[in-house]
Amino acid sequence: MNSMVEIFHTGEARAWNGELATLPLDKRQVGFLAEYHHLLECNGDGCAELFVYTEGDHKFLYPYMLNPIKRIGETEITDELYDIQSVYGYTGPIASVRDEAFLRRANDAFEAYVRDRHVVAEFVRFNPLLQNQELLPFAENLRTFPDKTFVFRPLDGTVNTLWDSIVPGKKRRCLRNCCKQADESSEVAWGCDTSREVFDAFVALYLKHMEHIGADDYYSHSPAYFEALYEFLQTRGTLVWMRYQGRFTAINCYIHEGATVYYHHSARDVELNAPAYLQSAHFMNGLLHFVGKGFNQCLLGGGRTRDDDDSLLRFKLAFSKETAGLFLGKRIHDPVQYERICELWAREFPHLTEKRGSLVLRYRFEV
């Protein structure tokens, strides 16, 4: 059977998204879109590509960020070398069918392509809703491993069925009481929109929140990223906000495509001493907003750590008992060059080997 390999970039968004649109609805996740990858290009995360392998009506799609390896510390890399990794979020490869013979040929074509592009290594964040780490079990050099437990919330049905399916007992009564208190308080207001006023408030709260929790500098993102996110939200998401005593106290950012919503960013006023019940009420209002709008699930994410007793994970489990595992993957495409640059990195940054030495793209870290 005739086969074809095509590569698309975010400047070809219509063609890129057209390939995604050939897949079943449940696989058309927001993180696979060209516009979403453009957000992270604006953040400086690399050049986005979509690899497409086609045989008749069968398709294999794999989006990723491509980056050159130009320097390790003070040492310039004169060879033309690259690595690839999944975009910030949860993607990995997807396919229209689970036919092993087809997937083997697709994987062979992908590996041949990245070798020709001088790709040394690959890091993948798979999609916990699609469980696509199971797509290529025969790929001998692809190692997959579990990372965290994620929570997702079914959204089909009505507001009443959503409430009825909340974890029963004391937690449900407590959550209902939180929402009741918020609804009855004259000091609380909430809504959903993507206006410039709300977005600018979200960015300000988000950046202050990241600073407060001591997040890695990466999570502060760039001004260009936030400007692109504002445009993205006009058609692909919304901001669920809450005011307390006239001030924005919390704003959550949701993005969506097809039938799935993603809880993408959250921000809260760390200086405002708001009642504790508002956090639960705000989170529940976000879920209720999407009921009856054609969505069937929302990925809430996991905890801050891998600990099953993580406080953020426990908070999310109060809203749904449905969980899925997040898996990561790594693949070495050029073992000789990979070993060379990793050894060079270890010599340049010996103090980082204990902290970063297990990461496949460890040579990207200088702190």
Which residues are bridge partners to 149 per DSSP? Answer: 325
What is the pTM for the complete model shown?
A: 0.94
**CA 157 – CA 159 distance, rounded (Å):** 7
In degrees and rounded to multiples of 5, residue 358 shows phi and psi of: -90, -5
Q: What is the pLDDT of residue 167?
A: 65
pLDDT in tens, 129-139: 999 999 999 99
Token match 């969506």: residue? 256
Domains defined for the chain, CATH in brackets: 3-148+326-364 (3.40.630.30), 156-295 (3.40.630.30)
Mean pLDDT of 73-79: 95
pLDDT above 70 as % of the chain: 98
The type of residue at 125 is: R
Q: What is the pLDDT of residue 163?
A: 83
Confidence of residue 269 (pLDDT cuts 50, 70, 90): very high
pLDDT in tens, 218-255: 999 999 999 999 999 999 999 999 999 999 999 999 99
CA dihedral sign of residues 243, 244, 246, 249? negative
pLDDT above 90 as % of the chain: 85
Q: What is the pLDDT of residue 168?
A: 66
Q: In sequence order, which residues have a C-beta less than 8 Å from that of residue 156 and are 6 or more positions away?
A: 295, 296, 297
Q: Among 322, 288, 302, which Cα is nearest to 179's?
A: 288
Q: Classify residue 21 as exposed, middle or buried by CB count within 10 Å of its CB (0-12, 13-18, 19+).
A: exposed
Model confidence at 200: pLDDT above 70: yes
